[in-house]
Amino acid sequence: MFEKNVGQADKIVRIVVGVLALAGFFLGWLAAPFSYVLVLIAIIMFATAALGTCGLYSLLGISTAKK
């Protein structure tokens, strides 16, 4: 389950999405309590990029990492 399945390009996209989600939270794109969903998305994106593994990819059998 903790096999590396997130490739380099995928990590970059996840970091960008995480930054945009945090920006949306701080800029007030959504009203509370929905704004906290943006924080959760950012945390998930940063964690999966840092760890190099994605649970959803594992369940679906997807890998963007080079073997």
Question: What angle (nearest 5°) sits at the alpha carbon of residue 20, between those of residues 18 and 24?
Answer: 115
Q: Tell me the chain's radius of gyration from C-alpha atoms.
A: 13
Query: What's the pLDDT at 8?
Result: 96
Contact (CB, 8 A) for 56 and 8:
no
Torsion over CA: 58, 60, 64, 66 (sign): positive
Convert the pLDDT of each residue in 34-67 to its tens digit.
999 999 999 999 999 999 999 999 999 999 998 7
Q: Could you tell me the two tokens for 5?
A: 């399945």
